[in-house]
């Protein structure tokens, strides 16, 4: 219902823009609608109090700062479209046809993410994970369509923000899924298995994008690597807190929604004090520490591999660009 309303609103704005001769306005309006929905969702969450479930996949708080830079890049994307449509960019006389052909994917990505914000604020966690996944898929499709852009400025300001957001949305979908499982009271073995599987999926997505699309998808690889590093950092911090002798409340503060502690982790830490079988409770707490440490190491290793791939791909892209300029000078 919400998706349909957003789609109708975007279509109406597109028709109005076409009548006014401003072809870039629909793209700007789609981004604005998404931001309004996100702001409304955050207001609902803050009004309800902190009832957000936690997950083993939740990155550290500092990791989320990359979202602000991605948003700035998307503002640059919209601003570029408006400037091109107004004839203010000499090197790009008109908005590329590649953008017009794939523009519905931009609308779909923003509508899906707006819906995810509302769904998450109303505690529909599984559905919000699907909405974020739909947004990531739409952004990957849009980025693939823009990979054929030849003009450097258009490629930088159109394709790069899309790929950055695609990588962040893909990891966010996995995090939302982990939160949904934890909130549903899934068994600890399932939470652990899905967490390790999510690391493999995220890492594999970076390699798949490079193999299918090419070097144009390098921004996605960079963002996924950063997010995986944040997941490793959160799990390492929680493990350190436990080994340092923090009480259950301290572990929750160090590894809660921002730090990444899972519901199973919290139960395992608290249970030794309440259990009638102290030995069993202690064994479960030790197992939790071992799992978190292994998850942290796996996340760090995956991030290191992707960072290395990103660095190598960036050097290759620069070499190709320099080689193309040399051929052009000849």
Write out pLDDT tens, residues 37-81.
Answer: 888 767 655 444 444 556 789 999 999 999 999 999 999 999 999
Q: Residues near 17 by Cβ (< 8 Å), separated by ≥ 6?
A: 23, 24, 25, 26, 29
Please give the pLDDT value at position 240.
64
List strand residue ranges (DSSP E) for 198-310, in order. Answer: none
Measured CA to CA, the distance from residue 244 to residue 306 in angstroms comes to 31
Render pLDDT for 79-90 as a digit per residue (tens, 0 to 9). 999 999 888 888
Contact 41, 118 (CB under 8 A): yes
Query: What pLDDT is attached to residue 258?
Result: 31
- Residue 92, Cβ neighbours under 10 Å: how many? 19
Residue 100 has a pLDDT of: 92
- Candidates 172, 183, 137; CA nearest to 58 is 172
Considering the entire predicted model, what is its pTM?
0.80
Q: Cite the beta strand spans of 6-87 per DSSP E.
A: none
Long-range contacts of 244-248 (CB under 8 A, 24+ apart): 248/273
| Phi–psi pair at 114, nearest 5 degrees | -65, -45
∠ CA(27), CA(33), CA(37), 5° rounding? 150
Residue 42 to residue 232: CA distance in whole angstroms: 26
pLDDT value of residue 218:
96
Q: Give every CB contact of residue 204 below 8 A, 6+ residues apart in sequence.
A: none
How many Å apart are CA 203 and CA 225, to the nearest integer? 8
Q: Residue 273: what pLDDT? A: 44
> Cα–Cα distance between 300 and 31 in angstroms, integer?
33
Which residues of the chain carry a pLDDT beneath 50? 2, 11, 13-20, 46-51, 244-276, 281, 327-330
């Amino acid at each position: 219902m919400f998706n349909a309303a957003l789609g109708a609103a975007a279509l109406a704005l597109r028709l109005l823009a076409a009548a006014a001769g401003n072809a870039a306005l629909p793209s700007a309006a789609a981004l604005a609608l998404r931001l309004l929905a996100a702001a409304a969702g955050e207001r609902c969450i803050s009004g309800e109090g902190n009832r957000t479930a936690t997950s083993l996949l939740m990155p550290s708080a500092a990791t989320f700062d990359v979202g602000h830079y991605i948003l700035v890049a998307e503002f640059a994307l919209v601003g570029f479209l408006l400037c091109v449509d107004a004839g203010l960019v000499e090197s790009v006389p008109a908005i590329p046809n590649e953008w017009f052909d794939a523009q519905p994917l931009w609308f779909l990505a923003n509508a899906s993410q707006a819906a995810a914000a509302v769904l998450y604020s109303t505690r529909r966690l599984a559905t919000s994970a699907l909405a974020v996944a739909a947004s990531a898929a739409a952004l990957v499709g849009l980025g693939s369509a823009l990979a054929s852009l030849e003009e450097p400025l258009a490629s930088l300001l159109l394709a790069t923000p899309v790929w950055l957001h695609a990588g962040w949305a893909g990891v966010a979908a996995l995090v939302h899924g982990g939160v949904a499982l934890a909130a549903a009271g899934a068994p600890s073995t399932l939470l652990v298995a899905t967490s390790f599987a999510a690391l493999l999926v995220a890492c594999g997505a970076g390699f798949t994008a490079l193999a299918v699309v090419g070097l144009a998808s390098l921004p996605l690889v960079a963002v996924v690597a950063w997010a995986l590093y944040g997941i490793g950092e959160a799990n390492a911090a929680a493990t350190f807190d436990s080994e340092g002798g923090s009480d259950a409340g301290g572990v929750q503060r160090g590894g809660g929604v921002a730090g990444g502690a899972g519901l199973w982790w919290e139960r395992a830490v608290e249970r030794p004090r309440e259990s009638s079988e102290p030995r069993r409770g202690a064994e479960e707490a030790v197992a939790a520490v071992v799992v978190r440490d292994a998850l942290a190491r796996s996340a760090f290793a995956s991030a290191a591999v992707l960072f290395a791939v990103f660095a190598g791909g960036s050097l290759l892209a620069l070499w190709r660009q320099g080689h193309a300029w040399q051929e052009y000078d000849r």
